């Protein structure tokens, strides 16, 4: 799959997720088979003010390429200045603009999904970036209840010169409830010439395949199902390329992945940036016997103890 001048080896994208998709996690997903990953969203205002936490969020490395940096904001001028700075400091392969986040923190400032009600401003923001930076610019949207208005936004995004669009088929009001309506991605794909990536509720090999087939989109993006489960990217990429389900021991895999994740957090000196207990809970999600382990994780004093409880869970199951 191609996005502007960028040639990707596949069409499976890891979704940007705040407080989840840090560099160690992204690297693991990329090694397992994600064709591309994105940083957690970064505020254009914070980039300009050189906020330390924001600077950390943009960090990547050559091994991650191709990678995208996602930004949010609502001022074409500020976003241009911020993306020029990002280009210079991090050299991402793509700059993605967030028009989907439903969090009040963003929408009350007119950012994220609030912009879906200002199509002219969406155009101005993207055009300003496309005209002034050399990195391809893409957009990620949620949908509006009104299909025609959503299609109009997609057309505006293409007209602005954006190189691809990701469609999460939920409205801002839905937050994460209900189902992601894939009819939107399907209709947008039919209307536009730029690549369209379908996002929402892809949880395994079969949902990945059926969404690709139904929407006829160029790619799929995987979010929550990968939390604590980076190996999902291997399973899905293997299935998409071979048509075969991978045999694996889920529990062993989760333990190995958790240990590797911790090792990489230490390697990049990012341990202090994550809530280790919350992350460990994700790695034990949906495993039988996991509830007891999660209680033990909550009471743990340190990371070694957390790893021990996760290992014990596996031994009990074996
Ligand atoms: C914890 C969390 C953080 C997220 N952060 C971002 C973000 O920074 N930028 C963004 O565009 N979407 C963000 N999202 C939305 C996801 O990228 C994705 O669109 C959504 O979860 C639907 O896909 P899924 O059903 O595969 O999870 C976030 C979602 C979650 C659950």
Q: Find the CATH number of the domain harbouring 51.
A: 3.20.20.70
By the 8 A CB rule, do 143 and 182 touch?
no
Burial class (CB in 10 A: 0-12, 13-18, 19+), 55: middle
220/303 same-domain check: no
10/112 same-domain check: yes
Query: What pLDDT shows up at residue 74?
Result: 98
139/178 same-domain check: yes
φ/ψ (deg, to 5) at 40: -65, 155
pLDDT bucket at 173, cuts 50 / 70 / 90: very high
Q: Residue 163 to residues 114, 159, 202: CA-CA distances in angstroms? A: 22, 10, 23
Q: Return the CA Rg of the chain.
A: 19
Per-residue pLDDT of 58-103, as tens digits, reads 889 999 999 999 999 999 999 999 999 999 999 999 999 999 999 9
48/132 same-domain check: yes
Q: Which of 57, 68, 73, 63 is nearest to 91 (CA)?
A: 68
124/270 same-domain check: no
For residue 45 the two structure tokens come to 């205002």
The catalytic position among 29, 61, 101, 251 is: 101
With tokens 């992601």, the residue in question is 180
- What average pLDDT does the segment 176-194 reach? 97
Active site residue 101: yes
- What average pLDDT does the segment 302-318 reach? 77
For residue 147 the two structure tokens come to 């299909």
Q: Which of 271, 231, 225, 219 is nearest to 255 (CA)?
A: 231
Please, how many CA atoms are within 13 Å of residue 11, restricted to the half-sphere of its CB?
21
Q: Is 16 in the pocket of ligand 1 (CB under 6 A)?
A: yes
Task: Using the predicted structure, report yes or no on whether residue 315 has a pLDDT greater than 90.
Answer: no
Q: Is 199 in the pocket of ligand 1 (CB under 6 A)?
A: yes
Higher pLDDT, 168 or 272: 168
143/224 same-domain check: yes
226/312 same-domain check: no
pLDDT bucket at 255, cuts 50 / 70 / 90: confident
Query: What pLDDT shows up at residue 316?
Result: 62
Number of domains in the chain: 2
Question: Of ligand 1's atoms, which has the minimum distance to the CA of residue 40?
Answer: 8
Q: Is 57 in the pocket of ligand 1 (CB under 6 A)?
A: no
Question: Of ligand 1's atoms, which has the minimum distance to the CA of residue 203?
Answer: 26
Q: DSSP for 61-83? A: -GGG-SEEEEEE-S-HHHHHHHH
Find the 233 Cα to ligand 1 centroid distance in Å: 16
φ/ψ (deg, to 5) at 54: -65, -40
Residues 6+ apart with CB under 8 A from 204: 225, 232, 235, 236
Per-residue pLDDT of 150-163, as tens digits, reads 999 999 999 999 99
Mean pLDDT (the chain) is 94
50/196 same-domain check: yes
Q: Residue 80 sits in which domain range? A: 2-242
**Degrees, nearest 5: CA angle 102-17-215:** 75
Query: What pLDDT shows up at residue 310?
Result: 80
Per-residue pLDDT of 223-243, as tens digits, reads 999 999 999 999 999 999 999
**pTM, two decimal places:** 0.95
Which residue has the CA at smallest separation from atom 23 of ligand 1?
200
Q: Helix 303-317 vs helix 290-298: angle between axes, to the nearest 10 degrees?
A: 160
Q: What percent of the chain has pLDDT over 70?
A: 99
Task: Using the predicted structure, report yes or no on whether residue 318 has a pLDDT greater than 60.
Answer: no
Per-residue pLDDT of 16-56, as tens digits, reads 999 999 999 999 999 999 999 999 999 999 999 987 777 77
Per-residue pLDDT of 28-39, as tens digits, reads 999 999 999 999
């Amino acid at each position: 799959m191609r996005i502007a001048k960028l040639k990707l080896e596949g069409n499976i994208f890891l979704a940007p997720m705040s407080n989840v998709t840090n560099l160690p996690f992204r690297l693991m997903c990329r090694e397992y088979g994600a064709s591309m990953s994105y940083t957690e969203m970064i505020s254009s205002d914070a980039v300009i003010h050189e906020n330390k936490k924001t600077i950390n969020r943009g960090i990547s490395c050559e091994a991650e390429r191709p990678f995208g940096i996602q930004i949010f904001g609502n001022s074409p001028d500020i976003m241009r200045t911020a993306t020029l700075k990002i280009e210079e400091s991090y050299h991402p392969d793509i700059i993605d603009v967030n028009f989907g986040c439903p969090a009040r923190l963003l929408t009350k400032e007119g950012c994220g999904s609030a912009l879906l009600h200002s199509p002219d401003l969406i155009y101005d923001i993207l055009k300003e970036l496309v005209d002034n930076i050399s990195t391809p610019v893409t957009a990620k949207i949620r949908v509006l209840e009104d299909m025609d208005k959503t299609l109009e936004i997609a057309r505006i995004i293409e007209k602005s010169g954006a190189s691809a669009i990701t469609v999460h088929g939920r409205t801002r009001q839905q937050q994460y409830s209900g189902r992601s309506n894939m009819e939107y991605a399907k209709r947008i794909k039919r209307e536009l010439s730029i690549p369209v990536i379908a996002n929402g509720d892809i949880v395994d090999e079969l949902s990945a395949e059926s969404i690709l087939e139904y929407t006829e989109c160029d790619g799929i993006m995987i979010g929550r199902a990968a939390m604590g489960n980076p190996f999902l990217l291997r399973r899905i990429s293997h299935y998409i390329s071979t048509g075969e389900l991978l045999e694996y021991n889920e529990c062993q895999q989760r333990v190995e992945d958790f240990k590797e994740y911790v090792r990489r957090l230490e390697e990049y000196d990012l341990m202090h940036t994550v809530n280790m207990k919350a992350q460990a809970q994700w790695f034990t999600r949906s495993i039988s016997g996991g509830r007891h382990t999660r209680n033990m994780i909550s009471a743990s004093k340190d990371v070694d103890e957390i790893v021990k409880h996760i290992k014990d869970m596996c031994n009990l199951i074996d």
